[in-house]
Structure 1
């Protein structure tokens, strides 16, 4: 939480001094934040506001908003602040002063996304010169194409899918441009037992902001640290889905530059699986999905029938790959929080069995899509979700416990819990 000092109020404008890391790297301790009182109706998602709640004052980002309330959260905080009502919002941050330099949050977003976009173009050109077959899974180009403006938050990651045989060449290109590989093995045991590498992550800093490139070698959505979980979801399906993603890509143009992205149905499917991978948390992930559906031809408003050909294609793919248990809740949340125009026929098409529905109902009650978990807890939740939502028969689910990778991870997790080292990572 950012502690606020020297609160100076006037009729419309006031300023405060920030002290804390909940909004770092956007705001630093010692920054002077200039705020303006503004009506609740004019506030938007991603605006940064000062809130007074439970006798505390803090400056956090609006991550969700209705006509009656907003949800705020610090960029670096795991938990949201819950509902914030109009009377609790004191003002919106319009400027920041740091060491005699004045800027607005918009300035930071524009500079950061411009630098990031430049990096993506460099990597894209090198990949194409090196004849690397790839597709953008998610990242700034997709945001720019659908939102038609730069992000209103720091946007730092770009996920690329490419064939395994191009891994070495792709990594050499990233290293050439100053990126460093991030090691995220949990332990030597995990590294030794893992039977495959599904992704590698590279990072470098631009003007103090991190930029990530995540290279995926398959359409992974399970637990990348554990390698194959063939008993819970067939590896052959993942390989087939990977080939499908690479073959069905399309080209979008941004500022006259071509970018290869997933086909529309595959993009919706991937972003849905990505939301599942994050244990159905992160409201901004749903926001992008809603925008994509509303601004594309998949919206039933475009059709006389409420069930478009594209929904049929998407539903068929979900069923063919046995993914309905994983993605059903995504579309439930879209309807609940964004009133996304998803046809009832589509829900009936991908509806899971009653037992799975009961588990999903419990998930809805236990999960806050506005908050996050620490990475240790997230790993435990992810394995539990995969186990219960897996389309595999019960005997295969039981057998997964004897998988060396899983058995080692369960033992490792218990030890860390008993020794209170819950900051470790499980993915």
Structure 2
């Protein structure tokens, strides 16, 4: 029976449009009682409570919050002043006690008793395993407290462990401003189109001074003469080391290409196929490529007597820059005709081989050519003082990735 009474009371409370028993008087009623008996203000008349027996009152009780209009549309209703201007739900006894406790604690300036503090400390120790007040690591004054005995920080163990044997931190590159060693180079030809210096993988420096080639060892700091031409009028025009550093290719003004073994200091082979001086050389395994003043590039197989295996004709003037890519797939050439060509790895005689890419953006002779060591299809080319630009190319698509004005950069730095 009590259950049905509870449900009936709950349904009655959910009907917001009905009168709330024991509700506080409305604001207009309180003002009327304070001002005493008298006429109500003009335009304001006290509202009467709705008669539950009236049909309109029954409709409101059935559909709370809505009442019909004249045209049948729904009109939003509002609570009557007879029942109060707001809905005040009932509060349970426990909630009232909790609110009273919080208000009393907020307004009470007295500090907690020692017994209560000890109880809170015991609770903290049981929940966290340590006292929160003693575990603070930041204080406004004083030194930080020591960690409890036996405490170990997991982060300290993680970041202080030894690194793997093959792992090393990346260090910033240091570029010295002063030279480590200065070498005299008398009688070196002041010719932009020649390539007279090359460094080997075994730390030997080959330098061509007029008609003589010298080898300088970085380890022993000794200078050794390698060769000297037979005629004083024939000078050395280019030098290039093989990848292993055991053999040196030498180009001369007389259109010859010589192959030298640096250990016994003797000439292994002399190759003649050009009709002008050889100003650029580059190795691709056992294939030696040479660029001449006529604009032709020859491929030489140094393993056989018939060394000339291919001819590339893509320049109209002297070839002054020549470089094979690290994977041996492409050959980059630069000439005095302001062209930079990219050739595929081809062999097979004197056929008409066409360049894979031809770059015409430079305005001067292209001597500097270099391949990216970590991205094999990226090429850098540099022009002369008339051009003053370094261009970065994608040889697969033929797009220019970037261009740098060297003169502008130098003026900005200095």
TM tier relative to shorter chain: under 0.3
Which of the pair is proportionally richer in strand? 2
TM-score, normalized by length of structure 2?
Answer: 0.22
Higher relative contact order, chain-length normalized (CA < 8 Å, sep 6+): 1
Q: TM-score, normalised by structure 1?
A: 0.22
Structure with bigger helix share is 1
